[in-house]
Amino acid sequence: MKDFLRKNSWVVSVLIISAIIAATLTHYYINSSTCEKLNKSLEPITGPQYIKLLGVGINVNWLTFRRVSHYYFMWRNEGVNVAEVFKAKGFSNVRIRVSGDVLSNKTLIKEIKEVVDDCLKAGLIPIFTYTADDVRDNPTSPMARKHFIEWWITVANALKDEPYTLSYDLIIESSHEIRNYPQTLNELYSETIESIRRIDKYRILILTSPNSSSPFNLKQLQIPEGDKYLIAEWHIYAGGPCPKKESHQPYNKTLIVESIKTAIGWSGKTGVPTWVGAGRPNCYPKHLISRWPDGAPKGTLTLNEALNFTRFMAEELKKNGIPYDINADELFLNYSTPKWYSSQEQLLKAILGLCYR
């Protein structure tokens, strides 16, 4: 036997390599199958379980901006599932911004259901977030708060039978006037959660931190006791790494590290996992936007600067098991085709290098 092994060492090597490849592929397909089953699962998924599924996502404006919505449903009518375009690129979830009023616009509920169907067919996790401009601008208004709660009650009733991979991110960001009212935000969360839980006990609900979704204000969040189906959200460089007036540096590595450390510390105390709901890989001031030859918006950072920033942030989040979504779709996808901008390919690869599965 020893002589055989010595004379046929190349055969042994091939067999060993084949076994390793087979084991690797088996592990991959088991994971993929598990994720696929979870995406169609009617079994509740806890916050800690859900956070492991999110991977890398992207904010999308399918139900916010008229132009994007037009193309989304135009392609849908032509048999193109735009959600599959995002899944094929490597995204695991989409944070779907909704700005319309589901109380008065019944067509919007129909469109929301269609988007859910498209995402589930594509194997993409759908996260709905409400832009809630009224309550963000008028947080002390009883009418605005009442409308916000009724908006979510309407959505919860419409989607209560959908798989538990569908989640609700209650408010897009704690910016505008509501940033100055953390206690009002907590009260709004409490009332809204209570209302949704009467309809849907186990749906994942995501609560963004007070004061413009700052990680350093997670400590101000008041989390309902005993609810295992909650996730906290925070943002960092949601508007991009833009230089501050007092500094020529577009971003601060220490800020990124300290933000992550703060979020991890808070999760350790509360048992509630966190997710970065919005981070932008370049700076795109509205008054300075120019475009690449392929039509993609051009940021103020050079490609190398944007890549260095993105890789650093992605690696830090990856090391600490915190998934995140980038901001946003139109920076990377030409909805009129719908094809990805070739000029953004390197940046997209850096973003999608983050993998949690």
- Token code pair at residue 259: 């933000």
Distance CA 182, CA 189 (A): 11
Tell whether 20 is covered by a domain: no
Which amino acid, one-letter code, is at 33?
S
Q: What angle do CA 205, 60, 46 make, to 5 degrees?
A: 25
pLDDT at 7: 47
**Is the sign of the CA dihedral 265, 266, 267, 269 positive or negative?**
positive
Confidence (pLDDT) at 40:
58
Q: How far apart are CA 123 and CA 304, in angstroms?
A: 32
- Please report which helix (H) or strand (E) contains residue 134, including its range: helix 133-137
22 in a structural domain? no
Torsion angle, CA of 105/111/113/119, rounded to 10 degrees? -150
Local mean pLDDT, 10-residue blocks, the chain (357 residues): 45 37 31 48 90 95 95 96 96 96 94 97 97 95 97 97 96 94 96 97 96 93 94 92 67 91 96 94 82 90 91 92 93 95 93 60
Q: Report pLDDT for 197.
A: 97
Rounded to two decimals, what is the model's pTM? 0.86
For residue 42, what pLDDT is reported? Answer: 74
H helix or E strand, kind and range, residue 190: helix 182-199
Question: 56 lies in a domain?
Answer: yes
CATH code of 110's domain: 3.20.20.80
What pLDDT does residue 14 have? Answer: 35
SS3 9: helix
Q: How many residues are present in the chain?
A: 357
Counted domains in the chain: 1
Q: What range does the domain containing 150 cover?
A: 44-238+259-277+322-328
346: in domain: no
- How many Cα atoms within 13 Å fall on the side-chain side of residue 89? 28
Q: Phi first, then psi: give them for residue 208, nearest 5 degrees.
A: -80, 145
CA pair distance 314, 172, nearest whole angstrom: 22
Rounded to the nearest 5 degrees, what angle is found at the Cα of 234, between the Cα atoms of 228 and 239?
155
Report yes or no on 307 lying in a domain. no
Q: Is residue 51 part of a domain?
A: yes
Specify the pLDDT at position 241.
Answer: 87
C-alpha 84/C-alpha 125 separation (Å) is 11
In a domain, 222, yes or no: yes
Q: Is residue 312 one of the residues assigned to a domain?
A: no
Return d(Cα 117, Cα 245) in angstroms, integer.
45
Distance, in Å, from the CA atom of 257 to the CA atom of 55, rounded to the nearest integer, reads: 19
Residue 102 carries which DSSP code?
Answer: T
Identify the pLDDT of residue 355: 42
Residue with tokens 């139900």: 63
Report how far residue 312's alpha carbon sits from residue 293's, in angstroms, rounded to the nearest whole number: 28
